[in-house]
């Protein structure tokens, strides 16, 4: 079955047409994008897809991918407040692709689904029970499609028994970590929304909730403005006062610009602190995985992170790390007790697998 994987992100739209064995038949990437770009890109594909799989950031309580119909679409739209940047983009892509490919079945594949296995201790916020039960307040986690693929691919590269305890680092414009034990998520850094956790390109990551309350009550900043600033003007962009692109931060850091030096240090501090926390959740570490735009293409981030994590018995090969800028690469140091690998993010493969599974079940 030919599956078109649609990944409508905040900064780019990626279309990948995969064959029955997940071979890449055609692809298109548009950045920046709007809905008018989608139909022409679909029409230019080398062959028509037999099914479509959409990456959807938030699936709420859904634990499995689902065939898209009007009630499902309405349910996903209702989750927009929990992922205000991404959910509307995914819904817009769903509608346009449905018009471009009438009659072709479409499946929603959720970034939250992989984290449905989180134990209660990891998923539960220390909030009043009445709030948690009434509003569904819990840690959902995100980037699950990427984390699931990266953990499984690490097992293929190293052998399944040598990758049972994996910390996968999805580092891109959005960033999160996942602790996978026997290829099931047991902890992650994002929570109720994709705003929690690591420092990201324009998102703050975790901040003291008291700080947010102070901004609202004492500084008298409107909640909508606080939300906007935390989502779009914080993170690396907020720290540098300019670009949130890690490549720009690295270049400015090399020139000795103080803001960029601080931005990089804050990013690495938060990253390594949370990798250590994920390792605790696993009771040890077999493999550290870097994926996503930053994780795959910025050797400096991998180097600095591993240097600070040396106490865990991790080391990497400097030459292999410097050369690992494309494709899947084992960069483990000769004397390292923990494997370190760089894996190309292939959410499209995970989307295609989920889509075929849903349609096979329907049949």
Q: What are the catalytic residues?
A: 111
Which residues are CB-neighbours of 165 under 8 A, at least 6 positions away?
A: 179, 180, 181, 282, 283, 284, 285, 286, 287
Of 355, 200, 168, give the one whose Cα is nearest residue 278.
168
Encode 319-349: b = buried (16+ Cβ within 10 Å), e = exposed: ebbeebeeebbbbbbeebebbbbbbbbbbbb
Tokens for 182, please give them: 């026997």
- Distinct helix (H) and strand (E) counts, the chain: 15, 12
Could you tell me how far CA 130 lies from the centroid of its own chain?
A: 30
Between CA 77 and CA 313 the distance in angstroms is: 45
Between CA 91 and CA 96 the distance in angstroms is: 9
Alpha carbons within 13 A on the beta-carbon side of 253: 20
Tokens for 297, please give them: 């293409």
Which H or E run contains 4?
strand 3-8
* CB count in 10 Å sphere of residue 177: 25
Angle between helices 347-362 and 144-158 in degrees, nearest 10: 100
Between CA 345 and CA 347 the distance in angstroms is: 6
Rounded to 5 degrees, what are φ and ψ at 208?
Answer: -60, 125
Tokens for 210, please give them: 């008291």
């Amino acid at each position: 079955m030919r599956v078109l994987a649609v990944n409508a992100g905040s900064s780019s739209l990626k279309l990948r047409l995969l064959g029955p064995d997940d071979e890449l038949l055609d692809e298109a990437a548009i950045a920046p994008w709007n809905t008018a770009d989608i139909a022409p890109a679909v029409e230019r594909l080398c062959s028509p897809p037999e099914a479509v799989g959409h990456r959807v950031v938030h699936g709420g309580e859904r634990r499995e991918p689902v065939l898209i119909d009007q009630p499902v679409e309405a349910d996903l739209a209702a989750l927009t407040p929990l992922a205000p940047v991404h959910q509307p983009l995914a819904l817009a892509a769903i509608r346009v692709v449905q018009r471009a490919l009438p009659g072709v079945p479409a499946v929603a594949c959720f970034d939250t689904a992989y984290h449905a296995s989180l134990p209660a201790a990891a998923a539960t916020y220390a909030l009043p029970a009445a709030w948690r039960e009434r509003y569904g307040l819990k840690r959902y986690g995100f980037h699950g499609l990427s984390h699931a693929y990266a953990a499984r691919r690490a097992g293929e590269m190293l052998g399944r028994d040598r990758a049972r305890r994996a910390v996968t680092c999805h580092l891109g414009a959005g960033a999160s970590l996942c602790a996978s034990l026997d290829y099931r998520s047991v902890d992650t850094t994002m929570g109720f929304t994709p705003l929690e956790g690591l420092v990201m390109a324009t998102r703050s990551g975790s901040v003291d909730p008291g700080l947010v309350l102070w901004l609202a009550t004492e500084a008298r900043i409107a909640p909508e403005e606080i939300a906007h600033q935390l989502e779009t003007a914080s993170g690396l962009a907020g720290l540098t006062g300019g670009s949130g692109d890690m490549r720009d931060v690295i270049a400015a850091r090399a020139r000795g610009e103080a803001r960029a030096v601080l931005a990089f240090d804050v990013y690495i501090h938060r990253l390594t602190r949370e990798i250590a926390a994920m390792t605790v959740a696993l009771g040890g570490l077999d493999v550290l995985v870097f994926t996503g735009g930053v994780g795959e293409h910025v050797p400096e981030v991998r180097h600095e992170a591993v240097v600070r994590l040396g106490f865990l018995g991790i080391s990497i090969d400097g030459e292999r790390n410097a050369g690992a800028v494309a494709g899947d690469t084992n960069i483990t140091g000769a004397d390292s007790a923990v494997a370190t690998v760089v894996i190309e993010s292939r959410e499209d493969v995970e989307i295609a697998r989920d889509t075929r599974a849903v349609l096979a079940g329907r049949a």
